[in-house]
Amino acid sequence: MTKKIIGIFVVLLFYPLSAQQATALSYSGGQLSTGGTLFKVDSPSSKRGLSYDEIQGTPYLNKTFSKASFIISDKVNVETAPARYNAYSDNIEFKRGDEVLALLSDNPFTRVEFSDTNQILVKLNIDDDLKGYFFEIVKDKNSLYKKVIAKFNDFVPAANSYAMDRPANFNILNPTYYINTEKGFIKRPNNKREIIDQFPEKKAALNFFFKENKIRFDKEEDLKKLVIFLNQ
- Measured over the CA atoms of residue 31, residue 36, residue 37 and residue 39, the dihedral's sign is negative
Ordered per-residue pLDDT tens for the chain, 232 residues = 444 444 434 433 333 322 333 322 222 322 322 334 678 899 999 899 999 999 999 999 999 999 998 888 766 667 888 999 999 999 998 887 777 888 877 788 889 999 999 999 999 999 988 999 999 999 999 999 999 999 999 988 888 788 788 899 999 999 999 999 999 999 999 999 999 999 999 999 999 999 999 999 999 999 999 999 999 9
- Measured over the CA atoms of residue 116, residue 179, residue 193 and residue 182, the dihedral's sign is negative
CB within 8 Å of 217: residues ≥ 6 apart: 177, 189, 190, 191, 223
pLDDT at position 20 is 30
Buried b (16+ CB within 10 A) or exposed e, 183-217: eebbbebeebeebbebbeebeeebeebbeeeebee
pLDDT at position 214 is 93
Cα separation of 50 and 41, whole Å? 5
pLDDT at position 74 is 67
Q: Which residues pair with 60 in a beta bridge?
A: 86
C-beta separation of 227 from 143 below 8 A: yes
Q: Which residues pair with 177 in a beta bridge?
A: 146
pLDDT at position 84 is 94
pLDDT at position 75 is 65
C-beta separation of 223 from 189 below 8 A: yes
pLDDT at position 9 is 42
pLDDT at position 38 is 74
pLDDT at position 150 is 97
